[in-house]
Amino acid sequence: MALAPCFVSFAAIVFISSFINSLLLPSAHPLDLNATILPIFDVDLLEFSLNLEYLEADFFLFGSFGQGLERVAPNLTRGSPPPIGAQKANLDSNTNGLILQFGYQEVGHIKAIINVVRGFPRPQLDLSASTFAKVMDQAFDRPLQPPFNPYANNVSFLIAAYLIPYVGLTGYVDTIPKLFSTTSRKLVSGLLGIESGQDAVIRALLYPLRQVKVPPYDIDVDEFTRRISNLRNTLGRAGSKDEGLTVQVNEGAEGRVQGNVLAGDQFSLAYNRTPEEILRIVYGSGNASIPGGFFPKGAGGRIARSHLPNGYH
């Protein structure tokens, strides 16, 4: 019985601390009594992931459906401007159906994230063919002629799709160990499962085509993937965390195979990338403070905005 007052006092302190913390977490949902109050660090990381999810949702939806979040889930855009240059791709029925599934999966991801954090309006996205063309010119260190068009055909779209989910999955691999809350870890584990699946499907579709020329160039699929992966390594500025569809035998699984349908380290574990590395890549600038590429006005959320010059705030 002598412990009862102490226990009550401790419980009161915990309750008061939790209440104060809820007031200090503007990005969470403190008024939702059914929601878990997340540590601010978790909130920041979860919100950062929205950037890639918005990008993938609109790219896949437009590519397969010809319309994006404005049509499919307008409430998720929060009044933000539509993506620049996004369009329907020239896909066969099987590829179109696959990419449409990806698009709707990304819609679900956005909903899942904003169910636990407040989030932010979709950033301005640039999904124009010219943006992808600039990425490919960077990858090959020369202008491709004619400029690369991701919407031209199946192979070109899959090459463009190779650019995106892998970056997101490496971010989730980095995020999970940093999260404090079980709710956060469970959410990101679920996101990682689907993102890695999407990347695996894209790579598996491209792998049998690795020696096929990407029209209208005299360059095969394998070289495109290798060049893209090398570019992401260069822009990320954190060593080798990216590999094409084939590698040197000593770099393959157990140092025994050249085929590399799934990218992984020496133990075939997924690579990780920090938010800063991801920003350097999706901006195409190699600098988390210089927006561009797919995010001409910068990415959203506290982590991304903290790197931007005042003119972008």
Structural domain contains residue 26? no
Model pLDDT, residue 311: 59
218-229 burial string, b = 16+ CB within 10 Å, else e? eebbbbbbbbbb
What domain range includes position 84? 40-307
Structural domain contains residue 312? no
Structural domain contains residue 9? no
Distance between CA atoms of residues 259 and 311, nearest Å: 46
Structural domain contains residue 18? no
Distance between CA atoms of residues 60 and 163, nearest Å: 12
Model pLDDT, residue 34: 36
Total domain count for the chain? 1
Structural domain contains residue 19? no
State the burial class of residue 216 (Cβ atoms within 10 Å of its Cβ: 0-12, 13-18, 19+). middle
H-state helical runs in the chain: 4-23, 40-65, 69-72, 93-114, 129-140, 154-162, 165-175, 182-206, 221-236, 275-282, 302-306
Contact 53, 108 (CB under 8 A): no
Using DSSP, state whether 13 is helix, strand or coil: helix
Contact 282, 52 (CB under 8 A): yes
Record the pTM.
0.88
Model pLDDT, residue 37: 86
Structural domain contains residue 24? no
Region for 82 from its dihedrals, namely left if φ exceeds 0, alpha if ψ lies in -120 to 50, beta otherwise: beta
In angstroms, the first-to-last Cα distance of the chain is 57
Structural domain contains residue 139? yes
pLDDT 10s per residue in the chain (313 long)?
A: 444 444 334 344 433 444 444 444 444 433 333 346 899 999 999 999 999 999 999 999 999 999 999 999 999 999 999 999 999 999 999 999 999 999 999 999 999 999 999 999 999 999 999 999 999 999 999 999 999 999 999 999 999 999 999 999 999 999 999 999 999 999 999 999 999 999 999 999 999 999 999 999 999 999 999 999 999 999 999 999 999 999 999 999 999 999 999 999 999 999 999 999 999 999 999 999 999 999 999 999 999 999 998 756 5
Model pLDDT, residue 207: 98
Q: Which of 313, 303, 307 is nearest to 46 (CA)?
A: 303
